[in-house]
Each structure stands twice: as structure tokens, then as C-alpha cells.
Structure 1
Amino acid sequence: MSKAVKSILFSPITIRGVTLRNRICVSPMCQYSADEGLVNDWHLVNAGSFATGGAGMVMIEATGVEARGRISPGCPGLWTDTQIEPMARISRFLKSQGAVPGIQLAHGGRKASTLPPFVGHDSIGDDKGGWPTIGPSAIAFGGPIGKVPKEATIDDIEEIKEAWVRAAQRAVTAGFEVGHILVIELHFAHGYLVSTFLSPATNKRTDKYGGSLENRMRFGLEIARNIRHTLPDNIALGVRVSVTDYADQGWDVPQTIEFARELKALGIDFLDCSSGGVVGGVDYNPLNTNKIQIEIAGTIQREVGLATAAVGKIVDPHVAEAILQGNGATLIFMGRAFLNNPHWPYIAADQLTDEQAFKYPPQYDWCIGWKGMAKWRKAVLLAEK
């Protein structure tokens, strides 16, 4: 992209009263480093580095709405009030650096009670520190995640829906809100609990939560509706969804589009378009999956009129810009690029714009900020003379 074309990536955007300084968002990335659901210094430094690096929004990793919903023993949670202040500490720092704090609420379902991936990612036996899991049907994910979940009863479903609402309330009312600037994302993707209710490959129920598309969407829509109703109007609420299972007789793009329409009608503000993770044995080709995710983000934005986030190994600033310029999404969600370089936006700004894209932290601004670089360029020119 020529620098003569105004960069959308570095244009601010307001979604339901929440203004992001740019469209660069840090995807929620599990760190598996919490203790009894409590975040700690690792989480503060990890997320904080992305905020000082210039991201418009930094989203805290999948946070369990109940202890049973943790993916691993090291996953954070908001199922009790004691977990609020450590999370609020991170949120306050993100806000102080100009980034919008976000948090992803999640329930692991049948993929809960597992080892961290850097240990093995296998199911943990109940006699070895694990816990019973739950799902729409008593079907294990398979492979190393072999624990068979309990088939959720109607009472279980009601209890879990309430857990989602209470976790959202804790995120807002007890410190994470930080001056009414907050984004909450509901994790309905990757084979975790709500995702398995959506997919006919994993949902074999015969009651009102299974069978037809309307029934399979019911659980997720009820959670989204209940949370939207309990949140202040100026809190942005998004949903992450797997746009396809990559499996025969599974969840697919047409169903995703219909789900997006229903979510928009409930007041959901954006859809984070990921894919896969729902059934085992899928041979993922990153080139294909990333292309599908980005294409569907554009399709939903155009056909449904719902803001979308494109995600999937986006590491090149020009690629990110082209997605936005081509009406492919509203936001760019990135993970690995930030792990490689928490200051990725600095490099992107140098490549995409001649203007001051954002305010650097004062500790950096005097040296590499707009004024600092101007002084450096002037010194170089004088030296060349």
C-alpha cells in the first residue's frame, strides 16, 4: 500500500461507545500460568507489553466462567470475587497506556481438565488433579483428550448460563471496566462448550437444545442475550466463533451466517471469525484456514452488517491493511506476531503511514516517537552535509 493512501489500520474506530485508537487488536492467547484462577505478574507483563507496543485493544485470554470450565489448571477465571482485583490491575495498566482492555469469557466444556500444551495437553484424570467435564452430549473429543463429558441436563444448562452472566458482571462492576471502556468477548469457538452445542457433529441432543439449527443455536443465543441485557449500554460485546468445523455434517459457513444474524439482533457488536477445533482428526492447512477466516469475515460484514474481526497468522502490515481496504473486516486480531514482537504496531506505522499514528509511551517517545525521529532525521541530514 502506498503511504499516499490513508491507513485504515491506524484509523480510530468507535464500537458502542468504545473507541479504539487503531484497528490492531491482540487476540486472547492462553498462558496457562494462573494459580486457582488468579492472574499474576506474568499476565501483567505479557499483556502490558502489548499495550505499550501500541495495540488498540488488548484482550485477556480465555477466562473461565466456572472452575469446571477451565481448559487447564493454569487458566484464569472470574467465577469468584477474589479473582477480580488481580484482573483489574492488568486492566488499569492497559488503559493507562492508551489500549482498550478486553476480556474473553469462556467455558472449556469437553476440552476442559487438560494439561497445558507445553506439558502434553492430555486429559487429566480426576484422581490426578483433574475434574469432571460437561458437554451437550456424552462424546469425548478423542485422541489425548479422551475424557468423556457428562451430558448436560436442563438444570446444568441453567446453572452454566447464570455463571456466564455472573462472570460478565464481575468483569464490569468490580474493577475491569476502568472508566466505562471495556470489550467483552464470548468464546463460542474451537470446540469449547458453546461451540459443541452449535455443531451437529458434537450435539446429539433430542430436546430443545439439539437437532435443528434453531435449537443448536439456542444455548449460545441465550447466553449472549442474558449478558447483553445485564451489561451497561456502552460496553462492547463480541463473540468468537468457528466459522466451520472442516467436517462432514458439521458446523459450516451458512450456519455461521445465520448465527451472526441472530447475534446482531440481540445487540452483539462484532464477530471474531476463527475456525476449527471442534472435532478431532482434522488436517489443518494454515493457508486454507486463514483464507477462509478472512473471506468469511468480509462476507459477514457485507451480508449481515455486523462488524467482524479477521484473524489467522496475519503478520505483514500490508496484508493487514489490504484486508481492511478490501472490506474484508472491521478489526484485525493478531496473536503470534505480537509474541514475536510486542511492538509490532511501531513497525507497521513506519511502513503504512507518514503521519503520527499514535502516541508512544513518554519513556519511548523522546527517542523513537514522531518528534524524536524528526530530531534524528535532522541530525542525519546535518551529518551528511
Structure 2
Amino acid sequence: MSSPVVNKGAPNAAFYTPVQDPPAGTALDPATAPTLFQPLSIRGMTLQNRFVVSPMCQYSADDGHLTDWHFAHLSQFVIRGSALTIVEATAVTPNGRITPQCPGMWKDSHITPLKRVVDFAHSQGQKVGIQLAHAGRKASTVAPWIRPANALTELAPPEDGGWADNVWAPSALKFDEGYPEPKAMTVEQIKELVQAFADAAKRSVAAGVDTIEIHGAHGYLISEFLSPLSNKRTDQYGGSFENRTRMLLEVIAAVRAAIPETMPLLLRISATEWMEALGEPSWDLEQSIRLAKLLPAAGVDLLDVSSGGNNPLRHIDVKGILANPYYQVDLAGKIREALKKEGHELLIGAVGMITNAEMARSIVQEGKPAAAHDSGSVEVVEESSGRTTQADLVLAARQYLREPEFPLRVAHQLGVEVKWPNQYHRAGWAKDQKL
């Protein structure tokens, strides 16, 4: 007698949902798929492809708590084949939020709404991470869509929960007009902050996340400590490279000790401030490479490479960016190459203007790539077309807002057969259909 046909439910889910076996976004023939659709294991976490949803600020939290908006926002990526979805910058202290409506992980009540997102992702066979952060001197501002016209930013007023009188920074140097006057942190406050990262990590583990990313980029507190432009301290946390990286390494050690040995730890940095034209010391690619070499021993498994954000006077060649959308990806590639030359084992994530199939494929492709071609939106040039692997993962944000189904669309454009969510199985594009 044949076995009955059963629409099996996902194991360990608190509600009924059909099991996704394999998860959406899995290549049906991994052996012939490009690297982009091959699995990647990081400690105890295995991803079925190399797509990661980058943290995206939504300015929609309630006293630091994720809401139904976050559930809906993040779930659309989960069900459409992204192997890892990272929750937006989440403050480890109340004054570490960018705006009063940014999420936090400084108290136990923040665990439950995060767990709801995590449990749903796990029911679909997908992974979830969280980015722990402190906004530093860029805190206590308002959401970008309510800023006055032509204003870089606007301070959040006390009646909206602002805290402009309690903004922390390595030194008492404001970011720009429209931002608060920060207070230089005391050594005791630095120690409190390190503990806050550890406590937030423990709460995140309690919520069931698969990985944690420390936010050390974009001009927020950790990157403010890294840069000699924003860090003018004369104690053990300022001056030399060793001193300016001290707080970050203390945070890494505290978080690593607070999470399971099997859990991957990620770090996002700005590889450069784009301030070299200023003619005085700033955080640059050379120092990023130097830092990257310290990370494996510190317990970091993947370096997520972004850039900029710490100085409004940054100089980026806009024409060069338009001609080479790999301008930021190339920073990741240079760090990866420097690490490989010296035998350092550290995975690299690339982010920035990753908008089409060929670009995503070329960034992570191992071995000799297919010939460069015009994918419809970006003509891939030879020096940046994947002839050298530039990263191990690709992270995207705005492209996901345009196309929540980005991994499925890329698979179709590359001719890779992948699993769709069971409930959407009728929706796949015809084999030769142009998108």
C-alpha cells in the first residue's frame, strides 16, 4: 500500500505552515549552479545561497520594539529565497538609537517581537541575523521623510522622545549642522557600552537569531572611535591605531563571549571615509586591511564591507561611481585579496549598488567566470567582472525594496533552476521569458 499524500507542516513551528524542503532560493542542481547559488557554511550556520538582506532602517519601532510593520517588511524577503535576512540597526542603549522610532535590544521586552520574526523565518527554512549598534553623535534625529526641506537632518524634540542632551561620541565634535552637540564618553561609559553590547547579544540569542552583526560603519559610534577625524582622545581609546580600535575589539570580545560557539559573528565597517583628499589622517583602506587581519583571532567570521558616513565633507567621485558601480565592491575585493595573501581565514561580504544578476554573480564567482556581458542595466567591465572573487556573500538593501524577489529573479536571469516557496510554485517565469 502506498503512503498517504500529506501536506506536511514545518517542524517546531508554533503554527501550521507547509514545510519548505528545500527552502526557497535553493538551487535544484547545486553542482552546476554558479557560486552565487551554492551553499556556504559559517560556523554552525549554513546558507543555501549567497544572498543576504542588508539591514534597512525603517524608523517604525515603538519604544524600541519591532512592530507588525517589521514583521511584514522582513517576511517578504524571507519567503522569496534570501538565505539570510538581517534586522536593521538595533540600539544596545536607549541613547544609541538614530531616531526615537528605531529598534532596540536594551531590555527584555524587546525579545518577544524579534522572536516572532525569527520563528517565522525558521518555519520557512531561512536564517535571520540582527545588527547591534550605537548611533553615537548621529543619534536623536528624526526620520528622513519628516525633515525640513533641504535639511541634512533635524533634531528630534523632547516631546517626540529626543535626547539631544545625552548624545555620546568619542570626542565632543558634532557631525554637522542639524546634529546634536555630543558629549565625550568617559571610560566608565565605554565600559558600560561594551557590557550593553554583550547584554543585547544575549537577548538576541534568546530570541533565536542565527547570527549577530556588530555595526562599526557609517559614522556611528564604533566608526567614530576608529577615525582620527572624529576621535581626538588622548587616553587609551584615542591616538594610535591600537587605541582607536580598542573599543571595537572589546565589543567583539564581549559579544563573542555572550553567544554560542557555533553562532557566526559578523562585523560591518566603512572601509574608507573617502576623506583622503583632506590631507590629514583619516580612516582608510590600509587601516581597514590592518583591522581585518586581527578579526579572525578575535572571533569574527565575516567582514561586511561598506564605506563612508562619518564626515559630510567626504569626497566620492560621482562620475567614477556611475562608470564603475563596483566602486564599493572593489574595496571588499582588495581586503579579501590582502587577507588571502597572508593566509587569514575571514569571509567577506560585499554591498553597494548590487542591482542585477551578472553583477551579483561576478562578485562571488569562484574560478574563471563566464564571459562578461550586458545584463540589461550594468555593462560589466573586465577588471571588475569577477575574474578575481571579490566576496563570499552579496548584501543588498534598496534593490530588495524594488524587488523583494531579487534572488528568484537573478536565478531566472542566470538560467539557474531554484526552489520557489511551495505556495508560489505556479508563479515561476517561463524558461526563455525576458525580465
Tell me the TM-score normalised to structure 2 length.
0.80
Could you list the per-position Cα deviations for residues 15-63 of structure 1 after superposition, in whole angstroms to 9, with x for gaps in the alignment? 1110011001000000000010011111001000001111111110000
Q: What residue is the counterpart of 2:22 in the other structure?
A: none
One of 362, 367, 374 as aligned partner of 2:422: 362
- Alpha-carbon distance, 1:230 to partner: 1.9
Structure 2 segments unaligned to the other structure (5+ residues): 1-29, 148-152, 366-385
Give the letter for the 1:293 counterpart: Q
Q: How high is the sequence identity, in percent, across the aligned residues? A: 43
How many residues align? The count is 362
Q: Distance in 1 between matches of 2:32 and 2:337?
A: 22
Counterparts of 1:88-237 in structure 2, within 5 Å, are: 88-120=115-147, 121-126=153-158, 129-131=161-163, 132-145=166-179, 147-172=180-205, 174-177=206-209, 182-237=210-265
In the alignment, does 2:105 pair up with 1:45? no
Q: What residue is the counterpart of 1:56 in the other structure?
A: 83
Give the letter for the 2:100 counterpart: P
Counterparts of 1:281-320 in structure 2, within 5 Å, are: 281-285=313-317, 287-288=320-321, 291-304=326-339, 305=344, 306-320=346-360
One of 406, 413, 418 as aligned partner of 1:351: 413
Q: Which moved more, 1:4-13 or 1:109-118?
A: 4-13
Q: Distance in 1 between matches of 2:305 and 2:187?
A: 29
SS in 1 for 2:413: helix
Give the letter for the 1:310 counterpart: A
- Alpha-carbon distance, 1:351 to partner: 1.4
In the alignment, does 2:396 pair up with 1:331? no
Q: Distance in 2 between matches of 1:360 and 1:275?
A: 34
Distance 1:202 1:24, change over 3 A: same
- Alpha-carbon distance, 1:128 to partner: 5.7
Counterparts of 1:234-313 in structure 2, within 5 Å, are: 234-247=262-275, 248=278, 249-285=281-317, 287-288=320-321, 291-304=326-339, 305=344, 306-313=346-353
- Alpha-carbon distance, 1:125 to partner: 4.3
Q: Note if contact 2:154-2:178 (Cα within 8 Å) is conserved in structure 1.
A: yes
SS in 2 for 1:291: coil
Q: Distance in 2 between matches of 1:148 and 1:291?
A: 36
- Alpha-carbon distance, 1:148 to partner: 1.1
Q: Distance in 1 between matches of 2:38 and 2:71?
A: 27
Greater share of helix residues, 1 or 2? 1
Q: Distance in 1 between matches of 2:336 and 2:274?
A: 22
Q: Distance in 2 between matches of 1:160 and 1:47?
A: 28
In the alignment, does 2:63 pair up with 1:36? yes
Give the letter for the 1:296 counterpart: L
Q: Distance in 2 between matches of 1:240 and 1:350?
A: 30
Q: Distance in 1 between matches of 2:114 and 2:317?
A: 35
Q: Note if contact 1:29-1:335 (Cα within 8 Å) is conserved in structure 2.
A: yes
Q: Distance in 2 between matches of 1:363 and 1:109?
A: 44
- Alpha-carbon distance, 1:364 to partner: 0.6
Q: Note if contact 1:84-1:176 (Cα within 8 Å) is conserved in structure 2.
A: no
**RMSD across aligned C-alpha pairs, in angstroms?**
2.0
Give the letter for the 2:272 counterpart: T
Q: Note if contact 2:132-2:213 (Cα within 8 Å) is conserved in structure 1.
A: yes
Q: Distance in 2 between matches of 1:55 and 1:156?
A: 38
One of 45, 50, 55 as aligned partner of 1:18: 45
SS in 1 for 2:154: coil
Q: Which moved more, 1:3-12 or 1:340-349?
A: 3-12
Q: Note if contact 2:326-2:353 (Cα within 8 Å) is conserved in structure 1.
A: no
Structure 1 segments unaligned to the other structure (5+ residues): 381-385
Distance 1:5 1:295, change over 3 A: farther
Q: Note if contact 1:161-1:223 (Cα within 8 Å) is conserved in structure 2.
A: yes
Tell me the TM-score normalised to structure 1 length.
0.90
Q: Distance in 2 between matches of 1:47 and 1:340?
A: 14
Q: Distance in 1 between matches of 2:306 and 2:199?
A: 26
Q: Which moved more, 1:80-89 or 1:126-135?
A: 126-135
Q: What residue is the counterpart of 2:12 in the other structure?
A: none
Distance 1:92 1:4, change over 3 A: closer
Distance 1:339 1:81, change over 3 A: same
SS in 2 for 1:118: helix
- Alpha-carbon distance, 1:293 to partner: 2.2
Q: Which moved more, 1:120-129 or 1:236-245?
A: 120-129
Q: What residue is the counterpart of 1:321 in the other structure?
A: 361
- Alpha-carbon distance, 1:123 to partner: 2.0
Q: Distance in 2 between matches of 1:91 and 1:284?
A: 37
Give the letter for the 2:109 counterpart: T
Q: Which moved more, 1:210-219 or 1:254-263?
A: 254-263
